[in-house]
Structure 1
Amino acid sequence: MTTGARRRMGVEERRQQLIGVALELFSRRSPDDVSIDEIAAAAGISRPLVYHYFPGKQSLYEAALRRAADELAARFVEPRQGPLGARLLRVMRRFFDFVDEHGPGFSALMRGGPAVGPTTNAMIDEVRQAAYEQILAHLGVGDPPARLELVVRSWVSLAESTALLWLDGRRIPRAELELQLVHDFAALAAVSAAYDGEMASLLLHMLGDEPADGPFGDLVDRLGALLPKVPAGAAQPAR
């Protein structure tokens, strides 16, 4: 048996260590299934010492969620350069990186449970709001019309629900879903544009710099392939 002096951590350093340990455990299993004893063992300290830094598992869970929420919100931050479709695709890849790394915790958080309370719900809403604001910034819109707000908030919700369904068996290749969500954004915007002139102008501006080989160009090609082919020499409908 070997012995050695264990380095004494400062208060904030120990708190950050416990948050990191808890976040790692919550990433592998639902927070409701992780005990304080497990967290203490993983951190190499006693159960009473955990309570010295956090009053209970809920407060530790909320601290871990705060770190995760900040990280998830940061995944939506993207330099506003280049075509929008490529930017959104990079955002979706980082978003699914997070979902992949924190699957059980992400699922438990979004689906609710005993560990979820008003504080955690508020943090979830913060992430959704941060994602919403980032997308508006990419579109160059400061004061969005009602239809655009509906499109962006619906898309953020769709990304969240798609990630949850993907975690339940991962039956669709992740890369396909990432691209499909970018296509979904364009489709939501296009449908809204069919009802509203302001949205139509915004859609045309959004597509103006899109290359033919980008994500939005890919969507046009896929939709075009679904259209029935008109036989050569067939009569055209009268106008």
Structure 2
Amino acid sequence: MDSKPPKSVVKRDPEGTRRRILEAAKSQFAKFGLAGARTDAIAEVAGSNERMLYYYFGSKELLYVAVLEAMYADYAKKESELDLSGLEPRKAMAALATSIWAHLWDNPEWIGLINNENLHQGRYLKTSKKLSETISPVVDVVRSILVRGADVGQFRSGIDPLDFYVTVVGMGYYIASNRFTISAFTGRDYARQSDRAKIWEMHLEILGAYLHSTTLAAVR
């Protein structure tokens, strides 16, 4: 009697499945927003099924929050791991700023997700218990550079690291998120590296003037 061939063993990869669902969801939410993205489309792109999507994330809304958390965590990890300790404070701050700006251009889905969540007035991010853990490391990097700069006389003291960080992000975010409308009404395309490098240089000079000046508050 012939023996039956052994059954093939299906190797389970829960982390891989979860990661693929997150990646697929990031793309879908960035393109279509929370309302427009479909769970069946996300599952299909991920090579999975809707049952697994709900198994790992519970709901479409919780998957959306997980995507936002992962996005901010990846960004914070990248920026906080920059090796800036060997640079003088002025160069360290310039390196951090240009890294943040480059991240916005290199990750267009980031812009789409942020814009979509702003349409929701930050409602879903506010439900996250992990968000503060992702923002703090980057602000700590800014704080460390500001302290070093003040200690050696390159920066003035008393600069709020969170305010400074938000200002740096805002400079890069406006150009990256509005590049199409800026191009339409001015004819200048900041997607071109040469134009982008020029405005980054201007932004760095503005930041440098603020870091050094002790008289800006007096002229307001």
What interval of TM-score do these two structures reach, taking the shorter chain for normalisation? 0.5 to 0.7
CA gap 1:122/1:51 in 2 versus in 1, 3 angstroms:
closer
Give me the identity figure in percent: 13
Q: Offset of 1:34 from its aligned partner?
A: 1.6
Q: How many residues align?
A: 187
Task: Give matches, 1:32-43, under 5 Å.
Answer: 32-43=35-46
CA gap 1:121/1:180 in 2 versus in 1, 3 angstroms:
farther
Gaps of at least 5 residues in structure 1 are 197-239
What TM-score, normalized by structure 2, do the two folds share? 0.67
In the other structure, the counterpart of 2:3 is none
Question: Residues 202-223 of structure 1, C-alpha deviation per residue, up to 9 Å, x if partnerless?
Answer: xxxxxxxxxxxxxxxxxxxxxx
Q: 2:216 and 2:122 mapped to 1: Cα distance? A: 42
In the other structure, the counterpart of 1:14 is 17
Q: Is this contact kept in 2: 1:65–1:120, CA < 8 A?
A: no
Task: Give matches, 1:57-72, under 5 Å.
Answer: 57-72=60-75
In the other structure, the counterpart of 1:187 is 209
Q: Offset of 1:39 from its aligned partner?
A: 0.7
In the other structure, the counterpart of 2:170 is 161
Gaps of at least 5 residues in structure 2 are 1-7, 183-188, 191-195
Q: What SS is found at the alignment partner of 2:79?
A: coil
Q: Offset of 1:52 from its aligned partner?
A: 1.8
Q: 1:74 and 1:162 mapped to 2: Cα distance? A: 21
Task: Give matches, 1:112-191, under 5 Å.
Answer: 112-113=120-121, 116-120=124-128, 123=131, 125-140=132-147, 147-149=158-160, 152-166=161-175, 167-170=177-180, 171=182, 173=190, 174-191=196-213
CA gap 1:133/1:110 in 2 versus in 1, 3 angstroms:
farther
CA gap 1:122/1:49 in 2 versus in 1, 3 angstroms:
closer
In the other structure, the counterpart of 1:54 is 57
In the other structure, the counterpart of 1:224 is none
